[in-house]
Structure 1
């Protein structure tokens, strides 16, 4: 029987806490129905017996305190609410406990922005991690040693797992259920909880937010120019001259400040504008392509799919009910 420690941090988001508990305990019910022993021992583990959640609106009563857990097989870190830096500080006493159990053989999984607590242990340094796309810029600032993969829903590296944003944590729990209990039980769980199994990308849900939480004014000026003139042809030399910088100097500073190259940033801004048009207008694909500054249909569709994970038509069908019908 695998022991699962679902952490109850101060300020944990109730949904990821209870959803995780429900899925793992449901697996035990499936095994019981077949006359088999339970697969998991699931415990809520905290720093105190009663932990306030959602600004005090709810209280989670833990099964055990961290010092009472001698051995565990999987530690699950739920999403955190509010200011994430403050949330990590409030829950700092979990960090050495997580590290010690990982070093003793436990696996660790973070859900959504629970990645901030996991990354604070240092265990993610040099490894890949997913989190909510809205928190990507802040995560990169705080944890530059971590390889953040914003498009992924699940990462799995050396016994450390993470999930993308919000309810995509359910896909990580299904992934773990499949790993521990088999494909049949994972599919059954997906059907009972009406979860779309085997989702891999959160790119269709991502809204590009240019990283402007930096102090490099010439780079900010270049970003603003791109965002205001994305439909035109913009060159790196043009941006460099505008800011009285050398081309290579601008490219280096831009990448450092925004985590994107200049070319990537221009593409992301153009595609974000195209997405908005696909969501709210009935213009055809070619009209939208020209509006955002592309003239090569193949290039536009290739870049659009690379960034969103969907073709322009698939994106419209997903998010624009009127446009899809038309």
Structure 2
């Protein structure tokens, strides 16, 4: 498997070298698995991972701290690869991903690689390079949570999904934060080499093979704060009784159900039901971080009359049970009094 890694001026050196290292370590582990480990991969089916770092002209570049980024070849010379990846980069003076000449060259190269069948992927601000290539048009995608609004504004034809860690559609894969190149690499390995190889890669790098959604890291209500309709709808849901429906939300907003569905799809890529669920679960996260309330009480406060339904929805959005979330949150905030576990 030949993997092309894009380097542009301001790319994160750690992400570029990290991707190359993780693919290399995976291949080494496949050839000599840890003692006692069994991952169901036979010697004759061991995949290879050949990484090549490419820039527009094949020359070395500088990372945001001025360090040299090693480059193996140019985009023009790297005409065949099975996977093409672009990582995060430094933001411009406006605190947004830049649109430089090297970014435009990278976008054109990625567009051509996708056209010829390669799996194309990006982490963090690298998602914007895929946007410049037109590869996000009409496709579900994600980026780091604090660039979500900027991605929507710059690429209105894209379909960014709020709060997810990984999105793939039509062999275009995107992941979240600056360190999400790990998630990107593991997703590529799972997609191209199979789940057993991905599990080995995750185990040797001591990483979660299934990353947590970004929703658990972002400030509560962040995505809604950017639009008056979302803010109003959030307040309605927060104060609604159990059993509150999408129809009731549309009526309270003086909108038809169809109009509300269209507006939410354009703003957050959610259905009204999905919006209600997300707001409730974001409320639950805040309440679970406070000591005292039981999980049953939290469920009731968030509009769930059945604790089972609450637990199911919570797990689907956060990747954890409510109790696990409490423990995870407590571990991240050791100075805060521990929450009640029941």
Secondary structure of the residue aligned to 1:275 is: helix
What residue is the counterpart of 2:329 in the other structure?
A: 319
Describe the shift of the 1:290–1:158 C-alpha distance in structure 2 as closer, same or farther (beyond 3 A). closer
1:205 corresponds in structure 2 to: 216
Counterpart of 2:37 in structure 1 is none
Match of 1:25 in 2: 24
> What residue number does 2:317 align with?
307
| CA-atom RMSD in angstroms | 3.6
Measured after TM superposition, the shift of residue 224 of structure 1 is: 7.1
Q: 1:200, 1:109 → 2: CA distance?
A: 16
In structure 2, the residue matched to 1:112 is: 124
Q: How does 1:38-187 map to 2 (within 5 A)?
A: 39-47=48-56, 49-54=59-64, 56-83=65-92, 85-89=96-100, 91-150=103-162, 152-181=164-193, 185-187=197-199
In 2, the alpha carbon distance for the partners of 1:324 and 1:221 equals: 30
CA 1:248 to 1:29, structure 2 compared with 1: closer, same or farther past 3 Å?
closer
**CA distance 1:306–1:33, shift in 2 (3 Å):** closer
Flag the 1:220–1:162 CA change in 2: closer, same or farther, 3 A: closer
Q: 1:230 to 1:178 in 2, by over 3 A?
A: closer
CA contact (8 A) 1:254 1:260 kept: no
Corresponding residue number in structure 2 for 1:273: 283
Indicate the residue corresponding to 2:9 in structure 1.
10
Per-residue deviation, 1:275: 0.6
Shift of 1:53: 1.7
Moved runs in structure 1, 4+ residues, more than 6 A? 34-38
In the TM superposition, residue 133 of structure 1 has moved relative to its aligned partner by: 3.4
Corresponding residue SS for 1:68: coil
Q: Deviations over 1:89-124 (max 9, x none)?
A: 451221112222322333312123322211221123
Aligned length: 314
TM-score norm. by structure 1 comes to: 0.77
Aligned partners of 2:55, 2:260: CA distance in 1, in Å?
A: 46
Inter-CA distance 71–271: structure 2 relative to 1 (3 Å threshold): closer
Question: Does residue 295 of structure 2 align to residue 285 of structure 1?
Answer: yes
Scaled by the length of structure 2, the TM-score of the pair is 0.74
Residue 324 (structure 1) shift: 6.1
Aligned partner of 1:236 in structure 2 is 249
Distance 1:264 1:179 in 2: 27
TM superposition shift of 1:171? 3.2
3-state SS of 2:339 partner: helix
Structure 1 CA distance for aligned equivalents of residues 157 and 186 of structure 2 = 28
CA deviations 1:182-217 (Å, max 9, x no partner) are 5554443323211222x1652663534234445xx5
Higher helix proportion: 1
Q: Deviations over 1:294-318 (max 9, x none)?
A: 4443443343334323332232232
Whether the 8 Å CA contact 2:96–2:150 is kept in 1: the answer is no
User: 1:41 deviation in Å?
Assistant: 2.9
